[in-house]
Amino acid sequence: MWFMIRIYLIIIFVLTFGHLGIAKTADNFSNHKCGTFAPPETKSEALQIAYELDSNNRPILHASFPSGQNNFLIHYDTTGFNAVQPDDNNANGVPDYVDSVAYYFEETYYNEVAILGYVSPIPDSGIGGSDAYDIYLLNLGMTKQWYGATYSELEIMPRLTYNRWTSYIAIDNDFSITDSVETTDIYGTKYKRRVYSTTGIAALKITAAHEFFHAIQFLYGESSYIGMFAEMWGTFMEHRFYPGIDDYLQYVAQLFAAPGLSSFASAKSGDGYQYSIYGQMVYKEHGDDICKRFWELFRSGLPGAAALDSALKEKGSDYINEWKKFTNWVYHTGERAEQGKYFDRAAEMPELLLEMEEEFFSPPSAGIAKGIPPFGFVAVRFNFRADSINESDDTLDVIVSNIDYQSALPPPKVNLKRDFQLQCFNTKQAGSVKIDTSINYYYRLTDASGFIHDSLYIYPGNSTSPIDYAFPSPFFAGDGSKLCFPVPGKAILYDYAKLQIFNIELNQMLERRMQIMPYHRKRVLILDELPDEFDSGVYIYKITYKSEFKGKFVVIRR
């Protein structure tokens, strides 16, 4: 029941407060970052904002500018609805934004074609005035709420298993922070919602990387079942070359808030954005070869899932095993992130929504029964209450996924859910196993299909005692010791408290939200190192956890 209430509260929060600009939470911004795989009529509508189309149904804009290497021709307007900002700081007679578009598309060409070795869509069809690849700057943010869209145009012959196309790209004319769309909240109140999570030149960079990779994909082939993979790899290219731009996190939030609703076997292009972090994982594990080999195998006739499976097998893995690894990576985000492991920005990602997270085991049993689509997953938590305040609760987290590979092959059968039942008991039951030698409870997974895989994360409780002093004191900075601070007596292990440190003049030197940990059988906050600005002297600390706790400690820096 609490899980459903929590889902409901998340939906209420997103719908009610998403327009306030809270970054990187599910559905704050557009649900689809690009229109490449939108229905044809929708893509045609987007071009109508040019007011005038040529005989090839391309926008007619009134100025153009070739990029530095002449690989791209940028089409733009200086007046009217689609006008770019007129700023021209280098006085070359071309708006600065147009200069930037030319520069970053050339950079993208170098990255994706020259460095990674993908087939080049240049020269193009010759339509648009030259053999350069055509980029059109349109006010997409105020119409379709897209960052950009890649338009397939002329079929390339000879035809292979999948159709191949020449193409051109339309992107937004400014990626303005003021681009907004009118929407209505759950109370019927209309408000303006910001379109772009990432704006300005940062948005231009990732859009160039994303959309030009769609242009490359069109040379390898297009099918009705490739949309999810196409968007996954396109969004991954943003991170591949601009890892400091975190636009993709807004889509990751959707996956983490409701993991049981998505499927890595989906054919829907919109589902691909949230799986861009899968691309991150296989890149970190296997390098650039997996993505490139995927598209080569797809061009040879293998459907999406089979192409990925074959590419992974060449690296000693496969579709199923890589998925199991992915669910483990997804688990280690937020507070569970580990420095230097898993996703690059794992600590900044939300944590998985755990079903039953707020509930405690009530004898004689507790459990959950659900159905999962192919290569979907859910996360469940079992809490076993500690006997005293001096112990932490025993916890079992379980990630359950459906590894039915055949259902991932075209046409993907995402509606073919596989049922399972998870149960925990306080006594041994048929088919159950003891969770851990130090946890006196039992666990059982019931799966009639044989396609359910479970990963267990076990956290046995710790017996600790509270203290009322910081140690070691004096603390010798720089010798590798840990500096530990006390917490209020009733603080719960693995909960969070705020640490503030002040100098003797009561100027704040440090503030951190920290997890309460066991250390030498004591319940403390642990600083692994003290910043360099802490010189020798006396300092005051304040711990906030429901109430406040204050004290002093001495630092000696030699």
Tell me the per-residue pLDDT of 37-69, one tens digit each, with 9 for 90 and over. Answer: 999 999 999 999 998 999 999 999 999 999 999
Q: Please, which pLDDT band fits residue 462 given cuts at 50, 70 and 90?
A: confident
pLDDT of residue 186: 66
Tokens of 229: 């993979």
Arithmetic mean of pLDDT, 408-418: 93
| Residue 384 to residue 440: CA distance in whole angstroms | 9
Tokens of 198: 């990432």
Per DSSP bridges, beta strands 394-402 and 377-384 are antiparallel
Contact, 81 vs 139, CB < 8 A?
yes
| Residue 49 to residue 299: CA distance in whole angstroms | 34
Say which DSSP state 355 is in.
Answer: B
Residue labelled with tokens 């991170």: 239
pLDDT of residue 43: 95
Arithmetic mean of pLDDT, 224-253: 95
Say which DSSP state 6 is in.
Answer: H
pLDDT at position 150 over 70: yes
Provide Rg for the chain, Cα atoms: 27
Say which DSSP state 137 is in.
Answer: E
Q: Which residues have C-beta within 8 Å of that of residue 351, sequence separation ≥ 6?
A: 256, 333, 334, 335, 336
- 364, with CB counted inside 10 A (0-12, 13-18, 19+), is exposed
CA contacts within 13 A on the Cβ side of 505: 2
Q: If we measure between CA atoms, which residue out of 2, 34, 43, 347 comes closest to residue 203?
A: 34
Arithmetic mean of pLDDT, 72-85: 97
Q: Is the dihedral of CA 437, 439, 441, 447 positive or negative?
A: negative
Q: Is 510 helix (H, G, I), strand (E, B) or coil?
A: strand
Q: Which residues have C-beta within 8 Å of that of residue 114, sequence separation ≥ 6?
A: none
| Beta-bridge partners for 68 | none
| Residue 128 to residue 371: CA distance in whole angstroms | 51
pLDDT of residue 386: 78
Q: Which residues have C-beta within 8 Å of that of residue 459, sequence separation ≥ 6?
A: 392, 394, 395, 396, 397, 494
Peptide bond into 488 cis (omega under 30): no
Tokens of 508: 């704040």
CA dihedral 518, 521, 524, 528 (to 10 degrees): -70
Contact, 373 vs 263, CB < 8 A?
yes
Tell me the per-residue pLDDT of 477-507, one tens digit each, with 9 for 90 and over. Answer: 877 788 999 998 778 777 899 999 999 999 9
pLDDT at position 1 over 90: no
Contact, 45 vs 222, CB < 8 A?
no
Peptide bond into 472 cis (omega under 30): yes
Q: Which domains does the chain have, with CATH numbers?
A: 32-222 (no CATH), 224-350 (no CATH), 365-459 (no CATH), 475-557 (2.60.40.1930)
pLDDT at position 290 over 80: yes
More confident residue, 528 or 432: 432
Arithmetic mean of pLDDT, 374-378: 96
Amino acid identity, residue 125?
S
Per DSSP bridges, beta strands 475-477 and 547-557 are parallel
| Residue 344 to residue 553: CA distance in whole angstroms | 36
Kindly report the number of other CB atoms within 10 A of residue 342's CB atom.
23
Contact, 145 vs 193, CB < 8 A?
no
Tokens of 443: 């666990």
Q: Is the dihedral of CA 89, 90, 92, 94 positive or negative?
A: negative
pLDDT at position 17 over 80: no
pLDDT at position 435 over 70: yes
| Residue 473 to residue 72: CA distance in whole angstroms | 65
Amino acid identity, residue 277?
I
pLDDT of residue 387: 72
